[in-house]
Structure 1
Amino acid sequence: MSMHSAAMGATTLITVAPTGAESAKSDVPALPVTLDELVQTAKECEAAGAAVIHVHIRDADARPTLDPSRLRDTVQALRESTNLIIQLSTGGAVTDPYKDRLAVLDAQPDMCSLTCGTVNFGADVFMNPWPFMVELYERTQAMEIVPEFELFDLGHIAALHRLLDKYGLPSGGHVHCDLVMGVPGGMPGDTRTLTTAVEVLPPDSTWSATGIGRTSVPVLFAALSAGGHLRVGMEDTITFAKGQPATSNAQLVERATQAATLAQRPPMSSTDARLLLGIAG
């Protein structure tokens, strides 16, 4: 474990989630929705300090899609133009059927998200029943894709323990989690909740945290102070500050880099992140 603790202690893994499935391009002009926009965003965010990109894609009308050929093209384009670790969302939009969400893995990303339970998401329900979690997890193991366990609530952490107890460690042997905080219906984005969640994570796991909307800055500071990693991006917040829309994803990554550097844990390189996460060369 020394390699993990060394990498984790000195540096911060920054993940950028640039697009998501919730915001409309018409409402958020800076949102990257085309492949060209996504590649440009990825390059800017890598230069700003990101090591992982969490990817949702859009169709020709800028609507969320899980189209298999578009996903493959996206993974290939990001691989060719950056050294970022490519993490595809298996959440898609709340309306996507399970079979389409499982098929995301066929695009052969380095990582994928694996949400550990159902959560109320504003007025919608983001469905992740146990049999779906198990099927997705076993597929990641068979295909050697590293999952990032998305945790929106404390019950999701209990489900993660259950998954690991029954089905063993993920591909690469290392457990990495992301605390998604401040979703209306999930756990709140505050320090007290973050420390409670971190205390019950699996031993030897690493974790990042992201705050949705106005919780983004408090969660960023809470995560850094607790020794965690960061996820930022326009999937999670479309404002930089009150009354100030984010101008780009790079702007949000730059702030995370500045905060991590102030905390004396500057951004981790994608090479070190691959070692930490157990991603094969």
Structure 2
Amino acid sequence: MNWDVFITCAVTGSGGTVSKSDRVPVTPKQIAEASIEAAKAGAAVAHIHVRNPETGAPSRDPALYREVVARVRDSGVDVVLNLTAGMGGDLVLGSAEQPLPFNPKQTDMVGATERLVHIDELLPEICTLDCGTMNFAEADYVMTNTPGMLRAMAARIQASGVKPEIEVFDTGHLVLAKQLVKEGLIDDPVMIQLCMGIPYGAPDDPSTLMALVNNVPAGWTYSAFSIGRNQLPYVAMAALAGGNVRVGLEDNLFLSKGVLASNGQLVERAASILSAMNVNILKPQDVREKLKLRKRW
């Protein structure tokens, strides 16, 4: 059991959720406002993707990140910023029978340096590092993160002084995370996110979660979340398993059956669950101290 828990809010993500809820933030102004709303509701960390403001499609345009970060920092609201570094690893095969050439409209594969341009410039306190390659339930799409790419990215993140949040989608990703730490590419205290219930990664049943938790090295800080209807039950599950929690519209659009949520409402519900369990909810400064983060402004 973790009695001192911080809440992360993943405010928009990169999935095709914009057409399913008008509450998913799209523009930099909306994404910044969602992050501020989440912070005011009790989230210590805002996990941020950006989207094309006109289409809602996922983007890695540094100018969009620049505007979001500036708006949050200028607001005076204290929140730890966690920018994704996951974009630029999207591989879509041509088809099952003709995998080559790759689908040119949907494939977005770039090198380690380009994937981290916005991290190097904006120096958030945290950025993500997706620790492995994985099939999603999306036909010919592969989330692609080779060991070589991850080593190069980890080294650049380390040099920048930004704390990587290692995203673990399956058991082998945790093995690779341990190897990166062993090689000195990730500094203590190590921070990981257990991403559960995402097809075709680790299922979100308690046995699989605890199999991962039982293999997390002593001294590492971890959060855990699930998607869809299991997001809110996982608030309690994660704390009971000794971890921290994540909610937000990246992973779940609903507050209850048929009731669309905002990011702030999901954070408020998470805080209510934790408070009812007599858990202390950590503030941004508590998280900085716990993870030895470097505040940038």
Asked if TM exceeds 0.5, the reply is: yes
Q: Note the aligned Cα RMSD (angstroms).
A: 1.7
Contact in 1 for aligned 2:196/2:225 (Cα 8 Å): yes
Deviations 1:176-213 (A, max 9, x none): 11100010100011211111101101220011011011
Considering fraction of residues, name the structure with more helix.
1
1:92 is the counterpart of 2:92: no
Shift of 1:168: 4.6
Q: Structure 1, unaligned stretches of length 5 or more?
A: 1-7
Give me the whole-angstrom Cα distance separating, in 2, the residues matched to 1:174 and 1:84.
20
% of aligned pairs identical?
35
Paired residue for 2:67, among 68, 73, 89? 73
CA apart distance, 1:24: 4.0
1:152 aligns with 2:164: no
Aligned match for 1:189, one of 196, 200, 204: 204
Deviations 1:15-72 (A, max 9, x none): 0001000034233200011122122212221111100011000123122111112212
SS at match of 2:231: helix
How many residues are aligned here? 271
1:36 counterpart = 2:29: yes
Q: Which has the larger radius of gyration?
A: 2
Query: Secondary structure at 2:194's aligned position in 1?
Result: strand
Query: What TM-score does the superposition give when structure 1 sets the normalisation length?
Result: 0.91
Mapped partners of 1:192, 1:87: distance in 2? 29
Distance in 1 separating the partners of 2:28 and 2:126: 19
TM-score by length of 2: 0.86
State how far apart, in whole Å, the 2-side matches of 1:227 and 1:24 are.
30
2:115 to 90, 96, 101: 101
Structure 2 gap ranges (5+): 91-106
Which moves more between the two structures, 108-117 or 18-27?
18-27
| Aligned equivalents of 2:186, 2:16: Cα separation in 1 | 34
Distance 2:60 2:179 in 1: 28
Alignment of 1:183-222 (within 5 A): 183-222=198-237
Q: Which residue in the other structure is 1:240 paired with?
A: 255
Are the structure 2 counterparts of residues 97 and 174 from structure 1 closer, same or farther at C-alpha, using a change threshold of 3 Å? same
1:3 alignment partner in structure 2: none
